[in-house]
Each structure stands twice: as structure tokens, then as C-alpha cells.
Amino acid sequence: VEQRRGDSARPQLSDLRESGAIEQDADMVLFIHQAQQGEAESVEDLENQGTVEVIIAKHRSGPTGAFRLAFRPEINRFDNRVVEAPAY
């Protein structure tokens, strides 16, 4: 995989070896991406620390897209992400 920065650092189908065959044969392809430390480039990046992005790169019978999960690496656990509403 070539080195990329910013949004282009997210994994994509072309990163997979023989991705043409995978893209054609697979019903669904998911990637789990966690920004590297020091990669934070915005306030949103800082708010997303401690989370991973699950990227649905291919879904033959459904939508593609991405969502975030909380990740606890010390126990290898993924949880729903809790976003606290701002206090007024």
C-alpha cells in the first residue's frame, strides 16, 4: 500500500491484493480503520480519538458508507459510540 495522508489514508478496495477479483466475487467488503496518532488534522479528528471507522466499501445488496465504533484496545472490544450532547 502506498503511503497516503488525510482522507486518502483510508483503506479502499484497490488496496487489496487482486482487488478486481475480490470486488467481483465478494458480496460485502468491510475495512476497520483507525487514524494513527499524530494524524489528527481537525477538531473532528480529536473528537474521534478512541474510535475506529468501519467502512463498508462494497455491499452487493445494500448501501455502502461508514460509521464509527468505540474501540477499547486493552481488551480488543468494539462498542457502540456514545456521543454526549453539549451541556447548555
What pLDDT is attached to residue 82? Answer: 74
Residue 85 belongs to some domain of the structure:
no
Confidence check: pLDDT of 57 > 90: yes
Q: What range does the domain containing 63 cover?
A: 6-80
What pLDDT is attached to residue 13? Answer: 85
Q: Measured on CA atoms in the order 4, 6, 9, 12, is the torsion positive or negative?
A: negative
Is residue 14 very low, low, confident or very high in pLDDT (cuts 50, 70, 90)? confident
Residue 88 belongs to some domain of the structure:
no
Structural domain total, the chain: 1
Residue 69 belongs to some domain of the structure:
yes
Higher pLDDT, 33 or 22: 33
Residue 60 belongs to some domain of the structure:
yes
Q: Three-class SS of residue 22? A: helix
Confidence check: pLDDT of 2 > 60: no
What pLDDT is attached to residue 28? Answer: 94
Residue 70 belongs to some domain of the structure:
yes
Residue 86 belongs to some domain of the structure:
no
What pLDDT is attached to residue 35? Answer: 76
